[in-house]
Chains A and B, each alone.
Chain A
Amino acid sequence: MTTLSDPPRADGFRLSLLVRDKRYRSYTFQAIALIALILFFGWLASNAIRNPVLRQAGIDFGFLADPAGYDINQQPIPYTSQSSHLRAAFIGAINTLIVAFLACATATVLGVIAGVLRLSNNWIVRKLMAIYVEMFRNIPVLIWILIIFTISANVFPQPSAFRGDNPEASPIFGVAAITNRGFYLPRPYFTNGIGAVADEVPADAAAPVAQEVASNANWLIVLAVLVTSFFAVRAVNAWATKRQNATGVRPTTLWVNLGLWFVPIVVTLVILGLRWEVPELRGFNFQGGILARNSLIALWFALSVYTGAFIAENVRAGILAISRGQTEAAAALGLRPGRVMSLVVLPQALRIIIPPLISQYLNITKNTSLAIAVGYMDLTGTLGGITLNQTGRALECILLLMAFYLVFSLVISAVMNAYNASVALKER
């Protein structure tokens, strides 16, 4: 108020006012900070320009179009050693997203279970969960990755143990093999789908074998059927809620819902001719089926249990923040403990849990870059590892690497913030 009661005279401006006067002070400091920032980045840029190595080689992203020359084991999209470095980078990016997605999902499940159970009334359960949380979050995640990887490489049988008439190990139910190179699982495929036509069956084949139709369009059909079922079930539930509101009695929807979920998908799969490709031991390894490599499993499992411990603490904090009166009031209404948790406590706790959960998801995504420790070919392994090394284009590769991770993280933040907004307290 004093500043207003004492308006500055036009001729009374002194330089010291820039610091002393509240009206100018903030601008002064912001201007200084801005200049310092510009100078700092200018100095960084000039340093980079004057760097002798960089001056000779220059910045050139042309190498991305050259053949990569190396092989990658886990290929979500087709790739050969003759594909470009860019394609190798994309394979790495997809592999990063695969393990990040899997780890986020399992870490959340683990974290919520452990967090809720840590508040259990059962002493043993409570202490067990406390041990889990303290053990996993206090040992570096890299160590966990290495421990799990080393254990799986040394404990599980080698593929050769499955060989012979009286093998030391045999596949589970005859269809899935757990080896020290990874888990071999059956792979579903279609024989009647749309898309690419199957190869002709050789005339001299002993028994006509159903040929695979190699087209991803069939999976889109399956997805579309599942989405339709989902909306149909939602419509039925909405109708049931309406009836309940009108009559006070909720009609039984269980059988209708089960039917809506299962009948269409089973019919679709039969029409498309679903078959399973069972992994078989041929040569050095099991062939066919899906291989979940050791490296993927170690990384996925380690990130899940490690981050799950942090999420458990977030969940516990969220639940503890809900006043005890809420639980007691719900119990007084006759709700059972499970329903008190799912209907009253967790929905309110979510508002507190979600923001730190976003950070944990970002941590998982960034921690996937430890993949190289177990030879999982993620983005850091392909673009930031082999490509960087074989081409020597360090600056370009690191810039691209930063851009990729920044985009991943910003997208995850945006999605989770949107979800946070949807569960936040609506103030009208």
Chain B
Amino acid sequence: MKNSVLLGTLAFAGLAAAGASAATLDDVKARGSLNCGVNTGVPGFAAPDANGEWQGFDVSVCRAVAAAVLGDPEAVNFISTTGKTRFTALASGEVDLLARNTTWTFSRDTDLKFDFVGVNYYDGQGFIVPTALGVSSATELDGATICIQTGTTTELNLADYFRVNDMSYEPVPIETEAEARTQFLAGACDVYTTDRSALASVRVTYPSPDDYVILPEVISKEPLGPLVRHGDSEWGDIVRWTYFALVAAEQYGVTQDNVEEMAAEAGDNPEVNRLLGTEGELGAMIGLENSWAKDAIAAVGNYGEIFSRNIGEDSPVGLERGLNALYTEGGLQYAPPFR
């Protein structure tokens, strides 16, 4: 008995020590797979499909990084994390990368010692209510019972919003999306609040989506993005530039279909050539093969393709590009030059 406790502790400490080592890239290469922290299941963003394959907007980031680093988009261990467990999972080294609609905030970036590598979805917090309630604005929610996921920024935003507007509410804290669904559909809470993208995503999974309406108010800025541990800048660079490669690919018209053709030989656009590795040595600068960006794009497509396939207007979730359009089309998605 004593032995097993001791060994258990040793094993635990060993794991912690392994997780804390600095060179994440070496660990991933040695392991031959990427440990990627994702949501517990938000359709469109991260959820297993009928075959048990993880699919979604956030999942694509994981697959792109795996493709860039290991050349294989399937070499990913997806690890479901809740709002509460995600940061511990990343800090302890259980995951190499967290792509789980996580809001970039000052304290998470500095105090919690993480690095946000970019914003893959510009979001804001909203409310969903049953149409039968007859509510058309969040300012009419005084006294409502509100379901909210604990350990998220939405929890703090909600408290601030109601305090500033001098309204009262009854918070019902919940742990996962599934619990929220049970409670909200049973009418145990009047309102469910989280990021608007997630609301749109869960609304389509409700038995009769038309009976629920998302209120027009957006009460916060929620820049959602992938993040890595602070202190391993090389790894941070890889994830950041893999993401930028997807955005740049959309801007320059590189798609999943034509990427092989465009990467076969150097073309007219020197930036595309550098991106796809037909010119220069960008891959070597971040410790990867020169075809890293090509592999990533070939695996998941460019940013626009990922968006429209998973959450865009043609998908069941049906979100508009809005702020997430390229800067050339009035949005905020912008990749720095590949040079």
Contacts and interface: CB of A to CB of B under 8 A. Distances in A.
B175 interface: yes
Contacts of A115: none
A366 interface: no
A226 B283 CA distance: 81
B115 interface: no
Contacts of B162: 71
Interface in B135-164: 141-145, 150-151, 155-156, 158-160, 162-163
Interface stretch (A253-261, A280-288, A330-338): A280-288
A42 interface: no
A52 interface: yes
A160 B131 CA distance: 13
Interface string A370-395: 00110101000100011011111010
Contacts of A244: none
Contact of A294 (B107, B108, B133, B188): B188
Contacts of A392: 87, 107-108, 111-112
B187 A381 contact: no
B267 to A, nearest CB: 45
Contacts of A73: 170-173
B188 A153 contact: yes
Interface in B97-137: 107-108, 111-113, 132-133
B187 to A, nearest CB: 4
B170 A285 contact: yes
Contacts of A52: 20, 231
A283 B143 contact: yes
A417 interface: no
A70 B156 contact: yes
Interface residues of B, number: 48
A226 B6 CA distance: 54
Contacts, number: 111
B186 A153 contact: yes
B185 to A, nearest CB: 9
A392 B144 CA distance: 30
A213 B64 CA distance: 65
B145 to A, nearest CB: 6
A153 B184 CA distance: 10
B277 interface: no
B188 A373 contact: no
A71 B169 contact: yes
B187 A389 contact: no
B91 A390 contact: no
A181 B160 contact: no
Interface in B182-219: 182-183, 186-190
B143 A287 contact: yes
Nearest to A381: B173
B84 interface: yes
A375 B173 contact: yes
Contact of B84 (A44, A158, A385): A385
A47 B156 contact: no
Interface in A344-386: 372-373, 375, 377, 381, 385-386
B16 interface: yes
Contacts of A154: 186
Nearest to A375: B173
B155 A386 contact: yes
B125 to A, nearest CB: 14
Interface string B72-98: 000000000001100110010000000
Q: For B107, B132, B174, B188, which residue has the most chain A Cβ atoms within 10 angstroms? A: B188
A76 to B, nearest CB: 16
A120 interface: no
Contact of B113 (A53, A285, A389): A53
B143 A81 contact: no
Interface in A245-301: 282-285, 287, 294-295
A43 to B, nearest CB: 8
B113 A71 contact: no
Contacts of A391: 111
Contacts of A57: 111, 113
A80 B163 contact: yes
B145 A285 contact: yes
Nearest to B135: A284
A51 interface: yes
Contacts of A295: 172
Contacts of A195: none
Nearest to A80: B163
A72 interface: yes
B284 interface: no
Contacts of B170: 73, 181, 285
B53 to A, nearest CB: 29
B323 interface: no
B186 A389 contact: no
Nearest to B163: A81
A69 B155 CA distance: 8
Contact of B144 (A150, A284, A381, A389): A284
B13 interface: yes
Contacts of A80: 163
A80 B17 CA distance: 40
Given A70-B159, A180-B188, A372 B175 contact: yes
A81 B231 contact: no
A56 B108 CA distance: 14
A386 B113 contact: no
Contact of A284 (B108, B145, B158, B179): B145
Interface in A47-104: 47, 51-53, 56-57, 69-73, 80-82
Given A73-B170, A181-B170, A181-B189, 17 more contacts: A44-B13, A52-B231, A57-B111, A71-B158, A71-B159, A71-B171, A73-B173, A80-B163, A81-B160, A150-B182, A153-B182, A284-B190, A285-B143, A372-B173, A385-B151, A386-B155, A394-B88
Interface of B: 6, 9, 13, 16-17, 20, 83-84, 87-88, 91, 107-108, 111-113, 132-133, 141-145, 150-151, 155-156, 158-160, 162-163, 169-175, 179, 182-183, 186-190, 231
21 contacts: A40-B6, A44-B9, A53-B20, A53-B91, A56-B113, A69-B156, A69-B159, A70-B159, A81-B163, A153-B183, A160-B133, A284-B145, A285-B144, A285-B170, A295-B172, A375-B172, A381-B150, A385-B84, A386-B151, A386-B173, A392-B111
The 7 closest A-B pairs by CB, nearest first: A389-B151, A81-B159, A158-B187, A392-B112, A283-B143, A375-B173, A153-B188
